[in-house]
Amino acid sequence: MTATALGTRVASAVWPSAALLVVSAAAILAVGARSLGAEHYSTDPIGVLAAAGAAALVILAVPRMPSRAVPVTIALAVLLGVHAVAGPLAVVLAASGVRASALETWWSALWLPIFSLGQLAAVIALLRPPRWLGATLIVVAAAAFAVSASSAPAGSFDRVATTTGDGSASLALEVSVDVWMLSLLVLPAVTVARILRADDDARRPLLAVALVSVLPLLGIAGCLALAIARDPGRVDPSVGSVAFLVLLGATSAGVVLSAPLAAPTASGGTAGSAP
C-alpha cells in the first residue's frame, strides 16, 4: 500500500471516529448527570441527541464540502462538538460540587457563533464572497459571543435550569446581539443583489444559494417564537429550552448538509464568480 493510499484511508477514518467520539462523550456525560440526580435541559435525552447528532452530521459532512469551505466547516464542527459535550460536563461538575463558571457561561453563548459559522460555511461552499466579508462576520459573531458570555449569569447548572434568564440585559449585550442578528442578513442580501443583476439563466442557481443562506434566520425565528410563547405560559420553559437545542442543531446541520446538494445547481450559473 502506497503512502498516499494509506493517508487517504486514515483521513477517511478520522471523521467517523470524531463523530462517534462526540456522540459517545455527550451521551456518557448526560447519563452521568442524570445518575447524579442533576437535571438540566442540556442533559435531556432529546436535547443531547439534537446537539450531538448535529455535531456528528457536520463532522461527517466535512469531506464533502468544497476545499474553500472546509476550514469554516471544521470550525463549526468543533463548536458543535464542544457545545454537545460542555453542557452535560458542566452539569456533572456542578452536581459533583465543582464550580466551572467559565464553562457554563461559554456554553450558554456558543449558539451565537454556531449560527454564524453555519451560514458562512454554506455560502462559502456555494459562492465566493470576499474574504473581508467573511472575516467581518466572524469578528461580529466573536464579539457577540464574548459580550454574551461575560454577561451570562453563572450558577444555573446545579438546578433545573432553562434558557430563561432574569429578564435583564446590559446595553452592551443588547447592542452586540442586535448587530450580530443584522450580520446574518448580509449574506442573503449579497445573494439577492446578485439575483437582481443576473440574467434569467443565472437566477435559478442563485435562488438555491439564497434559500440555504436564510436557514439560520428561520432557526432564530423559531427560537424567538418559543421565547414569545413561553412568557404567556403556552410552552413549558423546560420543553422550550430543549426545543431550542433541537432548533440549533437542526439548523446548523441542515444548512451545511444542504450546501453540497445545492452545489451542482449553483455551479451551473454565476454563483462562483466574485461580486
Q: Positive or negative CA dihedral for 182, 184, 188, 189?
A: positive
In this prediction, residues 28-51 reach a mean pLDDT of 81
How many other C-beta atoms are found inside a 10 Å radius of the C-beta of residue 181? 16
* Spatial contact of 105 and 152, defined as CB atoms under 8 Å apart: yes
Q: What is the pLDDT of residue 5?
A: 45
The Cα diameter of the chain in Å comes to 65
CB atoms within 10 A of CB 112: 24
What whole-number distance in Å separates Cα of residue 56 and Cα of residue 245?
A: 15
Q: What is the DSSP string of 82-122?
A: HHHHHHHHHHHHHHTT---HHHHHHHHHTHHHHHHHHHHHH
Domains, the chain, with CATH or none: 3-266 (1.20.1070)
Report the Cα–Cα distance between both ends of the chain, in Å, rounded.
45
Mean pLDDT (the chain) is: 76
Instruction: Using a cut of 0.85, tell me whether the model's pTM lies above it.
Output: no
CA 32/CA 153 separation, integer angstroms:
24
157, 193, 145, 152: which is closest to 170 by C-alpha? 152
Lowest mean pLDDT among 6-20, 56-70, 111-125, 242-256: 6-20
Collapse the DSSP code of 56 into the 3-class scheme (helix H, G, I; strand E, B; otherwise coil) and give the result. helix
Q: What pLDDT digit, counting tens, does each position of 222-260 carry?
A: 777 766 666 555 556 667 778 888 888 888 888 888 776
* 209 close to 264: Cβ distance less than 8 angstroms: no
pLDDT of residue 75: 92
Given a cut of 70, is residue 110 above it in pLDDT?
yes
Considering only residues 94 and 234, tell me which one the structure prediction assigns the higher pLDDT: 94
Cβ–Cβ under 8 Å, residues 251 and 219: yes
Other beta carbons within 10 Å of 117: 27
Q: How many CB atoms lie within 10 A of CB 185?
A: 13
Say if residues 80 and 55 touch (Cβ distance below 8 Å).
Answer: yes
Query: How many CA atoms lie less than 13 Å away from 160 in the CB half-sphere?
Result: 5
Question: What distance in Å separates the CA atoms of residue 11 and residue 28, rounded to the nearest whole number?
Answer: 26
Reduce the DSSP state of residue 207 to 3 states and report it. Answer: helix
